[in-house]
Each structure stands twice: as C-alpha cells, then as structure tokens.
Amino acid sequence: MPEFAPSTVIEFYSATGDYGCFSNFSRHSIFLKGKRWPTTEHYFQAQKFAGEPDEEEIRKAAKPMLAASMGRERNRPLRRDWEGAKEGVMLDALRAKFTQHEDLKAILLSTGDAKLVEYTENDSYWGNGGDGSGKNRLGLLLMQLRNELRAAW
C-alpha cells in the first residue's frame, strides 16, 4: 500500500472495504482483561458495565450490532465514571486490536500521515457527523495509535 501525504483523507465506516478494519464492528477479536472479545465494539460496550453481570452478557453477544444495542440500553447500571473513562477504554481496545493483529498494524501504518475520518451521520462524537461537524474521536485515536506504533518501530 502506498504512503499517504498529510493532506490525504481516508474515510471509513463500514467493516468492509480497504479500511474496514478501522471499524469497531470488524471481526477481529482482541484479548483484554484476561478474556477474548469478539470485536472492539463488544469490549467497548461491555466496559460501560465493568464488574457487573452485564459486562459478560455483552461480551457473549452474537454480533457487534447486538453488543452496541445492549450497551446503549439505559436500564443497565452505567458506570459513574463512563464519560471520563470512555476514550481510554476505546484506546485500550484499539491498542489491543492493532498490536494483536500484525496485518491490521501494517494497514494502519500504511496510511502514512493521512487524516483518518470515521465518516457517518450517525455519530458526531466518534465520527464526523457526516458533514465534518463531528469530533471524529475514533479517527483521532487511530492517528494517535499510528504515531505510537510508528515510534515503537
């Protein structure tokens, strides 16, 4: 894969396509907290209820969309520190994914200095809101991780 210039923008969302592995729904398991998680989405959603039975129930969800849906249910006991902890949880999941799968690490590093953008109207926190008004926190964390991996090389 070619190296990209800083002015290049790589948009991703779906778990398919050249950069589908950047999606939290991509079928790449991770090992964290002594357990195997089917996807980073499973891990992220489950950590909203760390230490509760809901955590394990979400880990065992059949599909990442089901894990996401379960994690958004507000009848579950959301941990009090979630807003302050969620980005660290996401970064832990991404670190696990891109260090436990060498092929994914190579794809992330191959993006050079390109801006990574989760392009979706469905999310203005983790994504760009579809019109660039969102925070794109997932893209920014992937770029942060890319820099960490590059420095460790």
pLDDT tens across 36-54, in order? 999 999 999 999 999 999 9
Decide: 97 and 104 in contact? Cβ < 8 Å: yes
Task: State the DSSP code for 31.
Answer: E
Above pLDDT 90, what percent of the chain?
Answer: 91
- The model's pTM is 0.94
Domain assignments of the chain as residue spans, ordered by start:
1-28+101-153, 30-87
pLDDT digits (tens, 9 = 90+) for 122-136: 999 999 999 999 999
Ordered DSSP codes for 34-85: TEEESSHHHHHHHGGGTTSHHHHHHHT-SSHHHHHHHHT-TTS---TTHHHH
The mean per-residue pLDDT over the stretch 88-113 comes to 97
Q: Which fold has domain 1-28+101-153?
A: Tetracycline Repressor; domain 2 (1.10.357)
Count of H-run helices and E-run strands, the chain: 6, 4
Residues for the chain: how many in total? Answer: 153
Which of 97, 101, 103, 102 shows the shortest CA–CA distance to 145?
A: 97
DSSP track, 134-145: S--HHHHHHHHH
